């Protein structure tokens, strides 16, 4: 990195964009490794360079600036600094909105990611009403992208629908959460049945959520199959990786609640007893 810094100092036009990209990549790696405190100053350095580049050549560098702001916001959220993350995500979102209507699908996807990240930050700040607007806009964009390129964007749409359902539920609107969560589950299941491996965690968590949601709405008979599916999937994931123990415990608790709602008390107790044997999510 020091060699690249020296090159950027001697030939800035050629090497400062490379330096910004390298610093950003390093910050991403450190954040992914749980070393966000180390990543933060590096992310700020990359951002400072990218701001200068965007001022000189906005058409070329504004999308990169927005991406770096997004990444900075994610790092700040890992550090439990949501107020600072909010400012970064708001600035990044403003840049994506300023791009012309002819923006590429990639830019539209980045816009939806920015909206969702901003919603996550607002949710962390107990501002779920504001988060909802951004969630709904992100889903609308992802629907459009999924229609044009299903193979690339259906999983992203499913993630957005799931997040939207959670936000509806947090606002005391479980009946509104249910249809979008069911749509998310249908997408994940279709991907799973098509052999898309990365769909498995999405299908598992959505099934667990639907099991809980139906039970919450007094419809435990409808929730039971989803809870059973969640337990089956998480059991397989746990066998492959014990880190999924808390997820298996949660799904067993959901199954216990659904069985209890159906008056099947012994089976409910068995599920809850098994859940207690696994680590619990904090």
Show me where the domains of the chain are located: 1-99
User: For the chain, where are the alpha helices, taking DSSP H only?
Assistant: 2-10, 12-32, 36-56, 58-78, 82-98, 105-124, 128-148, 150-170, 174-193, 199-216, 220-240, 245-261, 265-275
pLDDT-derived band at 5, boundaries 50, 70, 90: low
Count of residues making up the chain? 282
pLDDT-derived band at 279, boundaries 50, 70, 90: confident
Residue 184 pLDDT greater than 90, yes or no: yes
pLDDT-derived band at 12, boundaries 50, 70, 90: low
pLDDT digit string, tens, across residues 262-272: 999 999 999 99
Residue 19 pLDDT greater than 90, yes or no: no
pLDDT at 207: 98
CATH topology for the 1-99 domain: 1.25.40
pLDDT digit string, tens, across residues 95-138: 999 877 556 888 899 999 999 999 999 999 999 999 999 999 99
- CB neighbours (10 Å) of residue 34? 10
Structure tokens at 137: 């806009």
pLDDT at 26: 92
pLDDT at 84: 97
pLDDT at 230: 97
pLDDT-derived band at 17, boundaries 50, 70, 90: confident
């Amino acid at each position: 990195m020091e060699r690249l810094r020296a090159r950027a100092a001697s030939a800035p036009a050629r090497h400062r964009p490379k330096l910004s990209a390298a610093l950003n990549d390093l910050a991403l790696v450190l954040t992914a490794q749980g070393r966000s405190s180390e990543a933060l100053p590096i992310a700020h350095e990359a951002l400072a360079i990218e701001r200068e580049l965007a001022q000189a050549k906005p058409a070329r560098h504004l999308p990169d600036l927005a991406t770096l702001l997004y990444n900075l916001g994610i790092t700040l959220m890992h550090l439990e600094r949501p107020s600072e993350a909010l400012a970064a995500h708001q600035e990044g979102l403003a840049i994506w909105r300023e791009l012309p209507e002819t923006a590429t699908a990639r830019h539209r996807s980045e816009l939806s990611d920015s909206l969702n990240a901003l919603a996550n930050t607002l949710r962390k700040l107990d501002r779920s009403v504001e988060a909802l607007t951004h969630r709904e806009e992100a889903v609308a964009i992802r629907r459009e992208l999924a229609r044009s390129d299903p193979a690339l964007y259906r999983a992203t749409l499913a993630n957005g629908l799931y997040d939207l359902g959670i936000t509806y539920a947090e606002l005391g609107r479980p009946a509104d959460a249910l249809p979008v969560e069911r749509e998310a589950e249908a997408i994940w299941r279709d991907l799973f049945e098509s052999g898309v491996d990365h769909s498995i965690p999405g299908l598992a968590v959505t099934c667990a959520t639907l099991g809980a949601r139906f039970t919450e709405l007094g419809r435990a008979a409808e929730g039971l199959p989803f809870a059973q599916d969640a337990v089956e999937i998480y059991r397989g994931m746990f066998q492959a990786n014990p880190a999924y123990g808390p997820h298996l415990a949660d799904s067993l608790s959901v199954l216990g609640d659904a069985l209890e709602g159906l008056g099947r008390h012994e089976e409910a107790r068995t599920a809850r007893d098994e859940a207690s044997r696994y680590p619990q999510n904090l």
